[in-house]
């Protein structure tokens, strides 16, 4: 099927990155959020990131202007019904995603593909609530979207081959690589990555090391570009906790029990970079460990 217009639901960190790469690749994008402030901030972020690409000569100023012109914003969710593909990139809460699909569903064209950028929630379960489980699948981008080369494609039990091939073709057009995952909790990347961050939280919680020693150990000892606690702050500690809960609930294995310290940070509202405090304090010029 031919896809020209893509609706993106959610203009936050993931949504604006998805809109950015789609527009750069030549797709018309309709970006939706619940507030105009969120949409304005997203366009500003996209323009800033495009300027960075122009300065690095990976795109031209003309290509930047063309990409921005391909992005339309709207507060009206049903307006996305005219798209051939919709990518939901809202908050990682199943009830919110279900509400979005319930609202949007009646306005979709019969052959529109419906996808979700969820990092952990069951694709099969989300699809079962819609009128098109065979045209529904997981379309999981990595953060930051413009830089990361991987996209996880996750088929639900009802997803048909045409839907998979269409989404795979989009990944190729974006210049990224698709990794196919079965529909099990947290898929591939987060099934491996988030428990590592959770284990780093346990190492901190149990006094094995402090924030700096744990992160430096993994950066210098395992050649990781970011330490696990720093990475948790970058992802968002609320997102890390949500994924650990999905793993713990879905697999019923105690090795996936969320660290109490991770839970405590989330309860405090110290969610990482986006709130300017997490395992590091970002309110000054240089991030300072909080433990």
Q: Mind listing the domains of the chain with CATH numbers? A: 5-182 (3.40.50.720), 191-289 (1.10.1040.10)
Q: What is the pLDDT of residues 152-189, one digit of tens each?
A: 999 999 999 999 999 999 999 999 999 999 999 999 99
Q: In this structure, is the dihedral angle defined by the CA atoms of residues 218, 221, 224 and 226, taken in order, positive or negative?
A: positive
Whether the Cβ atoms of residue 74 and residue 28 lie closer than 8 Å to each other: no
pLDDT of residue 249: 94
Is it the case that residue 1 has pLDDT exceeding 90?
Answer: no
State yes or no: is 152 an active-site residue.
yes
Cα–Cα distance for residue pair 61/123, rounded to 1 Å:
39
Among candidate residues 86, 89, 74, 79, the one with its CA nearest the CA of residue 112 = 86
> What integer is the mean pLDDT of 71-86?
97
User: Given 140, 181, 198, 230, which residue is catalytic?
Assistant: 140
* Bridge pairing between strands 85-88 and 113-116: parallel
Type and span of the H or E element at 152? strand 150-155
* Bridge pairing between strands 177-181 and 280-281: unpaired
Type and span of the H or E element at 166? helix 161-173
State yes or no: is 224 an active-site residue.
no
Is it the case that residue 61 has pLDDT exceeding 80?
Answer: yes
> What integer is the mean pLDDT of 232-240?
95
User: Given 152, 181, 198, 230, which residue is catalytic?
Assistant: 152
Is it the case that residue 137 has pLDDT exceeding 90?
Answer: yes
pLDDT of residue 120: 87
> What integer is the mean pLDDT of 118-127?
94
Q: Residue 92: pLDDT band by 50, 70, 90 thresholds? A: confident
> Which residues fall in the annotated binding site?
10-15, 33, 92, 97, 119, 143, 274
């Amino acid at each position: 099927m031919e896809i020209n217009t893509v609706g993106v639901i959610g203009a936050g960190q993931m949504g604006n990155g998805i809109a950015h790469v789609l527009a750069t690749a030549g797709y018309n994008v309709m970006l939706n959020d619940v507030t105009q402030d969120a949409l304005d901030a997203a366009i500003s972020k996209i323009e800033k990131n495009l300027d960075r690409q122009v300065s690095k000569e990976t795109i031209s100023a003309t290509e930047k202007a063309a990409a921005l012109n391909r992005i339309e914003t709207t507060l009206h969710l049903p307006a996305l019904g005219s798209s051939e593909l919709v990518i939901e990139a809202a908050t990682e809460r199943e009830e919110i995603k279900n509400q979005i699909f319930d609202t949007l569903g009646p306005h979709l064209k019969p052959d529109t593909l419906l996808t979700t950028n969820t990092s952990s929630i069951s694709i099969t379960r989300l699809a079962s609530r819609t009128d098109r489980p065979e045209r529904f699948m997981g379309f999981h981008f990595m953060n930051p979207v413009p830089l990361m080369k991987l996209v996880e494609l996750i088929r639900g039990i009802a997803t048909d081959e045409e839907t998979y091939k269409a989404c795979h073709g989009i990944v190729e057009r974006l210049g990224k690589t698709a990794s196919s995952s079965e529909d099990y909790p947290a898929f591939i990347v987060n099934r491996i990555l988030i428990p590592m961050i959770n284990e780093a939280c346990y190492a901190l919680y149990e006094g094995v090391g402090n924030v700096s020693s744990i992160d430096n150990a993994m950066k210098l000892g395992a050649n990781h570009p970011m330490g696990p606690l720093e990475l948790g702050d970058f992802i968002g500690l609320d997102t890390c906790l949500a994924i650990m809960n999905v793993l713990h609930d879905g697999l019923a294995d105690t090795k996936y029990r969320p660290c109490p310290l991770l839970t405590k940070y989330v309860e405090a509202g110290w969610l990482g970079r986006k709130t300017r405090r997490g395992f590091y304090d970002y309110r000054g010029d240089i991030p300072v460990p909080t433990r």
